[in-house]
Amino acid sequence: MRKAFVHIGMPKTGTTAVQKAMSNRRVALLHGGLLYPGDNVDHAFLVQNFHPARGRHFYFKHQKIEPNKAEKIFRKSFHKLEREVAQSDGDVLISTEYLYNMGEERLRALRTDLSEMGLDLHVVCYVRHPIGQATSGIQQNVKMGHDTLANQLRNPQWHSCIETLAPALRALGRSKVTVTPFEFAKE
């Protein structure tokens, strides 16, 4: 069975840079037997069906997309994904930073949908030292005007890779979960 590598990018682990690199090298990846589907940089449309918040996720709110429109975008994009997978022979690589906290139920749903396309789900996640991740998050929140430095230092956001990966480990098993240090994302 072909594999679907789903990159669930945790915050501040270079996900956007990885996605841009893969998006810019779609043709080379395809020649190497790896499909990076679609024509967008990432696969955020998956949030609608595979994140507990669905169409009310902040990704859609930020883009001013109503839940019913998010559902339409998902259906159209998912059908396109199915067609691309059917037309290719190799494995598939999907990436979005918004699935790192999808939970076990939604992960099982994703596994089922990918299985129906003849794909075996494998989760890929880059992890970063918690202090480096929190520091980078603080810098971004202050720079973007989401909060003050004083508030961010009082309440830093810690993202637990254990909490993030536990559902995948339970649903898929250790052999189908790849954890890579953030430093390797640059390569």
Q: Max CA-CA distance within the chain?
A: 52
pLDDT in tens, 8-57: 987 777 788 889 999 999 999 999 999 999 999 999 999 999 999 999 99
What is the model's pLDDT at position 128? Answer: 78
Spell out the alpha helix ranges (H) of the chain.
15-24, 26-31, 47-50, 58-62, 67-87, 103-115, 130-143, 149-154, 161-172
In whole angstroms, give the CA distance from residue 85 to residue 177: 21
Q: What is the pLDDT of residue 151?
A: 85
Query: Cα separations (Å) of 36 from 19, 33, 122, 137, 174?
Result: 10, 10, 15, 28, 24
Residue 151: both structure tokens together: 């508030």
For the whole model, what pTM was predicted?
A: 0.85
Quick one: pLDDT at residue 67?
A: 95
Straight-line distance from the first to the last Cα atom of the chain, in angstroms, rounded to the nearest whole number: 28
The predicted-structure confidence for 54-103, as pLDDT tens digits, reads as follows 999 988 998 899 999 999 999 999 999 999 999 999 999 999 988 888 88
**How far is the C-alpha of 108 from the C-alpha of 167, rounded, in Å?**
9
100-151 per-position pLDDT tens digit: 888 899 999 999 999 999 999 999 988 877 777 778 878 877 887 888 888 8
pLDDT for the residue numbered 185: 64
**From CA 108, how far away is CA 170, in angstroms rounded?**
10
**Whole-number pLDDT of residue 44:** 93
- The DSSP bridge partners found for residue 181 are 127
